[in-house]
Amino acid sequence: MRFGDVVLAEIPRPGGSPGREQFGARPAIVVHADNARANLSTLVIVPLTSQMKAMSFQGSFRVSPSQENGLNAESVVLSHQIRAIDTKRIVKVLGRLADSDMQRLQQELKTILGM
C-alpha cells in the first residue's frame, strides 16, 4: 500500500465512553509515507465518511466516487482524524486518490499538524 491508496479498513471501536472517532468498516486513505513502512505492522490512515454534514469540520473536503478511487458514494475526507491501525485491519485496496485530491489532502495534513 502506498500514500494515496483508498482502502477498505476495519477501524476498531474506541474503548471507554463513545466519542466522535470514526470506527467500523469504512473507506480510508493511506497517508503513511511510502519509504517509512520498512518493518512496521501499522499503517497511518485518514478515514472517510458518507455523512456530508462532516464538511463543516476544519480540514474536511469532498471526494466524488470514480473508477480510479473505487468509492461508491460521495465521501468526506476527515483529515483531522488521522490514526494508525494494524495492517491486518485493511480488508482490501479499493483504488487510488486522484492527484488533485492527494495534493489537497497533503495541504490539509500540513495545516492540521502545523507543518
- Cα angle at 101 between 97 and 102, to 5 degrees? 70
Q: How far is 106 from 37, CA to CA, in rounded Å?
A: 18
Per-residue pLDDT of the chain (115 residues; tens, 9 = 90+): 899 999 999 988 877 776 777 877 999 999 987 776 667 889 999 999 999 999 999 889 999 999 999 999 999 999 999 999 999 999 999 999 999 999 999 999 999 988 8
Number of structural domains the chain divides into: 1
Question: Which CATH number characterizes residue 27's domain?
Answer: 2.30.30.110
Put simply, whether the predicted model's pTM sits higher than 0.85 gets the answer: yes
Nearest Cα neighbor of 12 from 80, 77, 76, 86 is 86
Instruction: Look at residue 78 in the predicted model and tell me its pLDDT.
Output: 96
User: Which structural domain, as residue segments, surrounds residue 51?
Assistant: 5-113
Q: How many CB atoms lie within 10 A of CB 54?
A: 19
